[in-house]
Amino acid sequence: MKKIGVMFFCAGICMWSCVVDAARGDFDFNRWNDLQNTIRTEAKNNNISDTMINATLKNPVFIPKIVYNDKNQSEFKLTLNDYLNRTVNSERVRSGRHMAKTYPTLLGKTEHKYGVPRHVILAFWGMESNYGTVKKAYRLKDAFFTLIYDGRREAFFKQQLLSLMKIADKNNLDIDNIYGSWAGAMGHFQFIPTTLAQYGADGNSDGKIDIINNVSDAMFSAGNYLNKLGWNENEKIATRVLIPDDFDTDFVNGDKKYSVSRWANLGVLNADGTPLTINDTVVGLVADTNDDASFNLVATDDNDIQNKSYRVAYLTYPNFYRIKRWNNSNWYAIAIAELSDKLK
């Protein structure tokens, strides 16, 4: 089997503009060639045009840094408070308000068509791409070829590449000019190709869907996705509350859902220290068990908290869990809740 080492160039088949990390071992050229043949065959079986197939298979580049990123994804270590300070900062809020003034008509159309409030759309836009200002450096076809070759999630990334080819083919897009994250997310709202294929929407009625260069398409696609997830425009996402410092940590990961009345009986208070309004609404509870930021509340005539130590938590409503189907992170969903509230 032919192997190619640290730096190489293969005219007519693939062009390499990077140095292979010697620590990974020799590069298997036969495997790289075989996966391209596989993509060609499967693309033909999916009725993708020869023009698109040839464009996709023209000079794909293997990028070692993408493999490194995939194998070294850091565990989430920020406290919730640190995460919110990074994501729901004054600059992002200010930019969101500016975008609300820049796109009032489009936001209104999106809200009317999909039932997702404009401040929620703005929050997702801000979180995903800082309102389109975050530029992605990787050509997506290269990212997918690299990840397919690496093999950790070969079937998944092969599906993403084929989906990207279909999208580019259908919308007459130059696949060599589609850029995104190393993991294959693209556009203002960072959709992966299969998500775009399922939920993409034409926001400006030009017969194409381009979520990278067209804000109308991007915004309609985000609204459509959230609508299909079941978004309820009359429902909260999360409400900030207080829990005793010694609250059972098994109850604060959002998985256990009880009535507000039961949470109240377990010692949960409103954010201002007053008792919760008793009702039968079923909600979850999320708190950061790794943050030591607790504080004392002084008893008043309206409560009997008796100088207990408390910490911040969040009651989480069904919309919270719809957000987690977009991004399965409690911190992300809370950030969307906080940012959208500031953008109302």
**Mean pLDDT of the 279-292 span:** 89
Instruction: Kindly report which listed range (192-196, 213-217, 228-232, 290-294) carries the lowest average pLDDT score.
Output: 290-294
Beta strands of the chain (E only): which ranges?
3-4, 27-28, 138-139, 179-180, 238-244, 258-259, 269-270, 282-287, 295-296, 309-316
**Contacts for 169 with CB less than 8 Å, ≥ 6 apart:** 48, 49, 51, 52
Per DSSP bridges, beta strands 258-259 and 282-287 are antiparallel
Q: Does 169 lie in the same domain as 249? A: no
What is the Cα Rg of the chain in Å? 24
Q: Cα(93)–Cα(110) distance, rounded to whole angstroms?
A: 20
Section 218-242 average pLDDT: 97
The predicted pLDDT at position 85 comes to 95
The structural domain count of the chain equals 2
* Structural domain containing residue 8: 3-70+137-184
Residues 153 and 38 in one domain: yes
Is 143 found in the same domain as 65?
Answer: yes
**Does the model's pTM come out above 0.85?**
yes
Residues forming beta bridges with residue 313, ordered by sequence position: 241, 287
pLDDT of 122 higher than 50: yes
Whether residues 173 and 283 share a domain: the answer is no
- Averaged pLDDT, 54-74: 90
CATH of the domain at 61: 1.10.8.350
**Of 322 and 4, which is predicted with more confidence?**
322
Are the beta carbons of 117 and 32 closer than 8 angstroms?
no
Q: Which residues contact 276 (CB under 8 A, 6 or more apart)?
A: 241, 260, 261, 263, 264, 268, 269, 270
Residue 3 has pLDDT above 50, yes or no: no
For residues 28 and 151, membership in a common domain is answered with yes
Residue 224: per-residue pLDDT? 98
Please report whether residue 52 resides in a domain: yes
Q: Please check the confidence at residue 99 and state whether its pLDDT lies above 80.
A: yes
Q: Look up tokens 């977009």; give the residue.
A: 326
DSSP 8-state code for residue 310: E
Q: Of all residues in the chain, what percent carry a pLDDT higher than 90?
A: 79
Residue 18 has pLDDT above 50, yes or no: no
Residues 166 and 304 in one domain: no
- Can you tell me the mean pLDDT for 149-153? 91
Pairing between strand 295-296 and 309-316? antiparallel
Question: Is residue 198 predicted with pLDDT exceeding 50?
Answer: yes
Same domain, 60 and 144: yes
154 and 268 belong to one structural domain: no
pLDDT surpassing 70 at residue 341: yes
Residue 49 tokens read as 């045009």
Place of tokens 């919110």: 84
Average pLDDT taken over every residue of the chain: 89
Q: Which of 51-65, 120-134, 234-248, 283-297 has the lowest mean pLDDT?
A: 283-297
Residue 150 and residue 57 share a domain = yes
